[in-house]
Structure 1
Amino acid sequence: MKQIIGAITLVVPDYDAAIAFYVGKLGFDLIEDTRLTDTKRWVLVAPKGSTESRLLLAQADGKAQEAAIGNQAGGRVFLFLNTDDFDRDHAAMSASGVEFLEEPRSESYGKVAVFRDPFGNQWDLIQHV
């Protein structure tokens, strides 16, 4: 038996702002953008080369969801972007204006740096050894 996590919901304030960041600045692929109702869309993005995991960008609906934006992991790093070339991706992300919260560092498990998306979510950019 094989199971995978196909998508993780990421609550965002606005679909188009989220697409602009994830596709425009991080270089993710826009997998799908389907209008479901006048206010809801099914928006899936994925890092280049990713074949199984996706982010479902979900525009907040109501105060409770708005309060969760940027804090879905309670202030911890929420998502981990694995790369096969840390230096290439760190340079490209920095050049496109991605906010890194620290300088790159080497750990026993690999090279890593924490960055933040414009909505407050913390990510690790990581190249495992």
Structure 2
Amino acid sequence: MQIDLVAVIVDEYDPAIEFFTGILGFDLVEDSPALTNDGRPKRWVVIRPPGAQTGILLARADGERQTAAVGDQAAGRVGFFLRVDDFDAAYQRMTMAGVTFVREPRTEPYGRVAVFLDIAGNRWDLLGALQAEGDKAGRQTH
């Protein structure tokens, strides 16, 4: 058993695709025409971090209730967690690309973490492993 997809409600498809693929480096897995339950056109848009099995369905808000949920899917809490191999490089790349970080990087017992907002305004943890002592020393000398 596995979780296949998680939906993120967005205002529009194309800016969301650009954010997740162009800025975060996710892969666009599918972008197909589809229909709503009542027959209106929509798109089935799935993105996924490279190599990951679980993907994100980018769902354009449909109606007042869904529009109100854009950016607040986890009621103001961190609701999504992105683990990266090189925390410092990812943080710097995302900062340079204009990603909004609402909490600066800090070190916790489980690793490095900083909180950022996606294009819709949802909070994410950017997570990375703790640096080994040898890595810290090596980076300081270069």
TM-score relative to the length of structure 2: 0.84
Partner of 1:75: 76
Q: Secondary structure at the match of 2:89?
A: helix
Would you tell me which structure has more helix in proportion to its own residues?
Answer: 2
What letter matches 1:104 in structure 2? P
Q: SS state of the match for residue 5, structure 1?
A: coil
| Post-superposition offset of 1:118 | 2.4
Partner residue of 1:47?
Answer: 49
- 2:20 paired residue number: 22
5+ long unaligned stretches in structure 2: 131-142
Greater Cα shift, 93-102 or 52-61: 93-102
Which moved further from structure 2: 111-120 or 35-44?
Answer: 35-44
Q: How much is the aligned-residue C-alpha RMSD, in angstroms?
A: 1.2
1:123 alignment counterpart = 124
Partner-residue secondary structure (3-state), 2:46: strand
Unaligned runs of 5+ in 1: none
Please report the TM-score for the alignment, with normalisation by the length of structure 1: 0.92
Aligned-pair identity in percent equals 49
1:85 to partner: Cα distance = 1.1
Large movers: runs of 4+ above 3 Å: none
Structure index of larger Rg? 2
- Which amino acid counterpart does residue 31 of structure 2 have in structure 1? D
